[in-house]
Amino acid sequence: MNKFYKIDRVVYDRYAVWYKHFDKPEGKKIGVYKILDLYKGNRKAKVAYRYLPRKGQSQEQSDNIIISNTIHLFSKSKGGFRGNASLNRD
């Protein structure tokens, strides 16, 4: 396996996408993306595996979907389930 990530692209001028290719694919996993949030207050990173494309998809389409879904997870709230608290008010 390669030891180092290489810069792949920058998305929305906010996320830096780094990529590391697997020398020996692990099943359908052919590599891994490391996506960094470049905003000063955040500086968080997420990891997403790169897979072989599905039938009828190109590798580029598959990669864009993987990266988009991972970027979407940056903005997800981490708050827990609050139940039906608003319905239980008397």
Domain ranges of the chain: 6-74
CA atoms lying within 13 Å on the CB side of residue 22: 14
Q: For residue 1, what pLDDT band results from cuts at 50, 70 and 90?
A: very low
Q: Residue 80's pLDDT is what?
A: 57
**Predicted confidence band at 2 (pLDDT cuts at 50, 70, 90)?**
low
- CA separation (Å) from 60 to 31, 50, 52, 53, 75? 14, 11, 10, 8, 24
* pLDDT tens by residue, 59-82: 999 999 999 999 988 876 555 555
Q: Are 35 and 14 in contact (CB under 8 A)?
A: no
Contact at 8 Å (CB) between 30 and 42? no
pLDDT in tens, 17-64: 999 999 888 888 999 999 999 987 777 889 999 999 999 999 999 999
